[in-house]
Structure 1
């Protein structure tokens, strides 16, 4: 049985309510060193509380996506896959900082088994939870699995979304809730097995 992380109330409200999403996004779009134009003194306390709630939502989202990634992908990575240094991920603007995670609503990272690189991702939206992976030969700039791999679908390079990834999207019903994570954990295990097989086959070429 999958030990499922509990969705924070802030994240649930953000995903469930279009009005909450609009308000939170507007508050976070305001520069930290500025105040909304026309704000009056008697509105300042309300603004501070609202801005604090929006910031909490952003950080709760980052932590929750990290927990989802660890539950779905992270616990099954073998020791022969070396995690990319956090400094490298930050420099390359992968979704590991709260700001980038918030912008993409995803947690994205990669692991090395030189010269191979395994990319993994978890993305959460109001209506779906998605996971994705890609296995590549970094030296040859070659993707090792470029086909549909049920339950994952292949999104070819140049696609509007998920370009170059294998993606599984599971609906969130009702909105603001999670689908059963066991489905995604099982799919991630199959993805790992396929990546290992692809690496083994590629080494024999």
Structure 2
């Protein structure tokens, strides 16, 4: 059972990572390093502070992965009581993959339909502030093919044109680019998810 929540509080480490360019750069640099070795330029007196920095970077990573799952649960999970979670849900759920994608998604099944739902914490870029985005797709499945069923039913939504393997065929909700702050108001995202689910119900029932 997923408990309804009116707002979501991002971990301080995640909010700092997404909103402070210096923190983002430092964390990414530390996590890109080979964890089995130490930097060649590291002085022996710097070992403890270096290891603390690595531990802090790993905390950002795992805090963010946990936050992604909890955000997905607060927005999408509350709607899916009548659906069966795909038995293969553990695929691509390792923390490294979720961290790289900054996204969490699930596939739920019912009566030959597959309903994909996802959420992304989008890193900042030169022309984009960090934000939260929703994704969805409804497929009619068979042994031969999968047919998309939401086309033309979601005004304001469009298929993604991104290279993410998990989202290139899913609908993204551009009006729902919620700015990243430590406390995230969920009402807009939940209202959009409700509207999507109503369209899904009309197709599948």
Same fold (TM over 0.5): yes
- Taking structure 1 as reference, are residues 14 and 28 closer, same or farther at Cα in structure 2, changes over 3 Å only? same
Give matches, 1:41-190, under 5 Å.
41-79=44-82, 81-85=83-87, 88-91=88-91, 93=92, 96-125=93-122, 126=124, 127-139=130-142, 140-147=145-152, 149-151=154-156, 153-155=157-159, 159-160=161-162, 162-169=167-174, 170-173=176-179, 176-177=181-182, 180-190=185-195
Alignment RMSD, CA only?
2.0
> What are the superposed Cα offsets for residues 4-57 of structure 1, whole Å, 9 maximum, x if unpaired?
221111001101111111110111112221222322211111110000000000
Q: 1:192 aligns with which of 180, 197, 202?
A: 197
TM-score (normalised: structure 1): 0.84
State the 1:155 CA deviation: 1.1
For structure 2, which runs of at least 5 residues remain unmatched after alignment? 125-129
TM-score (normalised: structure 2): 0.84
State the 1:2 CA deviation: 4.1
CA–CA separation in structure 1 for the residues paired with 2:57 and 2:104: 19
For structure 1, which runs of at least 5 residues remain unmatched after alignment? 201-205
Tell me: higher relative CO, structure 1 or 2? Use CA pairs within 8 A at least 6 residues apart.
2
Residues 147 and 154, structure 1, Cα contact 8 Å, conserved in 2: no
> What are the superposed Cα offsets for residues 61-115 of structure 1, whole Å, 9 maximum, x if unpaired?
0111111101100011132x10123xx2333x2xx33211110111111111142
